[in-house]
Amino acid sequence: MVIKFTRRQWLTLIVISIADFMNAICVSLQAPFYPQEAEKKGASPSEYGLVFGIFELVVFIISPLYGQQLNRIGPKILFNGGILTTATCAIFFGLLDKVNGHYPFIILSFVIRIVEAMGNGAFLTASFAIIAMEFPDNVATTFASLETFFGLGLIVGPTVGGALYQVGGYTTPFVVLGSALFLAAVMTAFVLPVHNDREQDAHSSGGVGKLLKIPGVLIASMSIIATSVSIGFLQATLEPHLRQFNLSPVVLGLMFVINGGTYALAAPVWGWLCDKYSHPKVATVAGCILVMIGFSLIGPAPFIPLPTIIWISICGLVIHGLGMAAQLVASFTDALRTSVSYGFPNNIETYGLVSGLWTSTFALGAFIGPSVAGILLDNIGFRNGTMFIILLHMLVAVIAGLYLSCSRKPKPYTEVGADEDPRTPLTDSGRSRSGSSRHGGRGQGVPIDRPGGMNSLFACNSYSNRAGAWSRASYSGRYSHSYGSIEAKRYLEMTT
């Protein structure tokens, strides 16, 4: 499981991890302190509830636009601009207690959150694209590692914020932690490498609409939405559900970080599995099953003839964390591999499109989840409401499973070895696709009846064969580049 990175890769990983951690802290700061301050200013729960909801809605709308313009703007500029905007807005949000009057307070709250969402969407879209460019052979593992830092930030944010709130009041946590994020942005401005791929603009294959026409990418997007809906569902309903146990504020706060903490620990493992051994959609199906089991226990679901028991609910939250880690980690690398295999160019534009799509679909689910959860809680209660999440993930699991079974139908192919001429006629071979995918250095299996760019199976292989016979064939123009090398020609010259 040991991975060797270059100095540039280590620096990139470190600075993005720090930025991800600090960004999560600032994003999670509002929930514990803002509602009470808003009520002091005369705001209703509906009004300050929309202040939270507008954040995810703006991220959903703006992220695909960032993805389409990523190549033109530049990943580093978008990354630094986004994180600086988020940091500045976090500081301004901490000054809202100085605003007098109901309507000025609410209007400024909306304005700051909208601008903050625009910055957060830019930061996330650029960071995911940079991961794909800098770590082509370990996309899932690296993505999962960064998600671990984001998850830790979501845990640390309310804890540290609460301590600062007790020391200095409403303004202190926002100013202190927002300033820390600002310093992280300054650091990334000096350390983060510059990526410039503007010369490939002419080879663009389309926007998000065309990306979603690819079945594998559409299923990955459905998985992201379902997972974020489940997260939002618990954020809105877990506290009322657990109110029957009269838990202390400290214990109740710990209940909210169980699934997030499990996610932070499990994400790197799922990422490593997706990179080295497993088809990402296998992880998607496994994740859906785990989320279904988790929600069946948290309630428990109406088909389980037991009352709500606290330790069973805790087990359910742990299993939910394992499931959401599998789904979120697998979905990003799956969408990236599949889009390239279907003919999208292997360049910054495609990375930006996929990154924007991931960020947007996650935000959509985060917006839908609490909204639907509130309605279900009011009308049918928590236990019956969990069936919505269970059935939603069952649907995604069935669709992903059907796609996986269809894509694994045996195809006649020949294996191109390192010493073979790739221009020889293709013949039948009895070897399975899974066998060739675990021996990346020996070349890829080439299906006879479909070109490589349209073969979803080809996308599932690890990106390890860079300079073998297959790569030489791709450079000659017969086949498209294998995933994960923007400057393929220069790489080949250095290695041969």
Predicted local confidence at residue 390, as pLDDT: 94
CA angle 53, 97, 100 (to 5 degrees): 100
Q: Quick check: 493 pLDDT over 60?
A: no
Mean pLDDT of the residues in the chain:
75
Residues of the chain with pLDDT > 90, as a percent, come to: 15
Position 355 confidence tier, pLDDT thresholds 50, 70, 90? confident
Q: What is the pLDDT of residue 226?
A: 93
- Running DSSP on this structure, what letter comes out for residue 457? T
Highest mean pLDDT (candidates 73-82, 97-106, 394-403): 394-403
> So what's the pLDDT on residue 437?
37
Which residues in the chain are classed under CATH 1.20.1250.20? 1-194, 208-408
Is the pLDDT reported for residue 299 higher than 80? yes
Residues 6+ away with beta carbon under 8 Å from 38: 47, 48, 51, 105, 106, 109
pLDDT in tens, 230-289: 988 887 788 788 888 887 766 776 787 788 788 878 888 888 888 777 788 888 999 999
Indicate if the pLDDT at residue 12 is higher than 70: yes
Q: How far apart are CA 405 and CA 75, in angstroms?
A: 37
Q: How many CA atoms lie within 13 A of 287 on its CB side?
A: 35
487 has a pLDDT exceeding 80? no
- Neighbour tally for 401: CB within 10 Å: 16
Written out in words, the top-level CATH class of the domain with range 1-194 is mainly alpha
Average pLDDT over every residue of 192-205: 55
User: What is the model's pTM?
Assistant: 0.67
Confidence of residue 3 (pLDDT cuts 50, 70, 90): low
Q: What is the pLDDT of residues 19-36, one digit of tens each?
A: 888 888 887 777 667 777
- Mean predicted confidence (pLDDT) in 102-118: 91
- Give the whole-angstrom CA distance, residue 279 versus residue 304: 33
Alpha-carbon distance 385 to 378, whole Å? 10
| Rounded mean pLDDT, 282-304 | 91
Residue 397 has pLDDT above 90, yes or no: yes
The domain made up of 208-408 is a member of CATH 3.30.420.40: no
